[in-house]
A = this chain, B = another copy of it.
Amino acid sequence: MELNNQTLLNELYGEHPQHYVAVDCVIFGYKDGDLKLLLYPRSFEPSKGNWSLLGGFIQKDESSDQAAERILKRTTGLDEIYMDQVAAFSKPDRETAARVISIAYYALIRLDDHDEEIVHQYGADWFSIKDKPDLIFDHDEIVSKALAKLQQKAGYQLIGPELLPEMFTLTQLRGLYEAIFLRSMDPGNFRKKVLSLGVLKRHNKKDSTESKKGAFYYSYDENAEMPDKEIGRIIKV
C-alpha cells in the first residue's frame, strides 16, 4: 500500500462492497488404479458433517496461491505440492450462510508420502473419483472442472512424478493415466509414446510386486529437458 491518504482511498474504493474470499482445494491422489479425492467432513454449520473440499479463507497479505499452500500444509502436513488454479466460483448464493467467493485449486499428491494421521485427525478420507459422495454447495461442480483441467494438463505434460513414488514402472504410469482419463489405453502404444518423449530415465532395479517377470523402474530424467518445455500431446483428447 503506497497511498498514505486514507480519505482518498475510501473515496476510490469505499463505495464498493467487500467479500469473503476463500480457496477450495481439490486434492487428487492415486492408488490401486484409482484416482482418489481427499474429502473433509465440514466442521461447522451450515452443512456440518457433510463431505466437502478442503477450504479456507484468504488472509490480508497473502495471495490465493499462498493461501492454498498454507491451508494444504496446515491440514495435511504436505509441502511443495504441485498446485494449479482451476477457476473462481462466485455465484452469490453458492454458500448458504454468507456470500463467499471461492478460488479453486487442484493439488496432486503422492499417497505414499502421506501422513495418514494428520489426514484422519480432521476426519478426512480418500474417495475414488468414480465413487465419491455428493459434496456440499457447488463443490461437485468444482471437482468436475478440476478433473477437466487435470486431464488437459496430463494430455500435454507427463504427470507422474507428482502422483507416483519417485520411481515407478510404466505400467503404474499407464494405470495413473487410465485413472485420470477414465478409460483404458493400449499398453504397447502408451509405452512407446511416453518413452519417445525422452524425459524418463530407466533404472536397473526392477519391480516384481506387480508382475512375475518384473518391470524396470523409471524416474524423471532431471537433465533431459528444461522443466517447462512443451513435450507434445501424450494422449489424444
B-contacting residues of A (Cβ < 8 Å)? Answer: 1-3, 8-9, 12-13, 16-21, 44-46, 57-65, 85, 87-88, 90-93, 96-101, 103
Residues of B contacting A19 with CB < 8 Å? 18-21, 58
Interface of A is mostly: loop
| Copy count, this protein chain | 2
Name, among A1, A62, A90, the residue most crowded by chain B CB atoms within 10 Å (CB to CB).
A90
B16, B58, B96: the one within 8 Å of A2 (CB): B96
| Cα distance A97–B2 in the bound complex, in angstroms | 6
Q: Is the CB of A16 within 8 A of B20?
A: yes
When C-beta atoms are compared, the residue in chain B nearest to A86 turns out to be B87
Q: Is the CB of B3 within 8 A of A13?
A: no
Residues of B contacting A57 with CB < 8 Å? 13, 16-17
Q: Is the CB of B92 within 8 A of A13?
A: no
Q: Is the CB of B64 within 8 A of A99?
A: no
Q: Is the CB of B92 within 8 A of A63?
A: yes
Q: Is the CB of A90 within 8 A of B16?
A: no
| Cα distance A50–B180 in the bound complex, in angstroms | 45
Residues of B contacting A17 with CB < 8 Å? 57-60
When C-beta atoms are compared, the residue in chain B nearest to A65 turns out to be B90
Write the nearest CB–CB distance from A131 to chain B, whole angstroms.
26
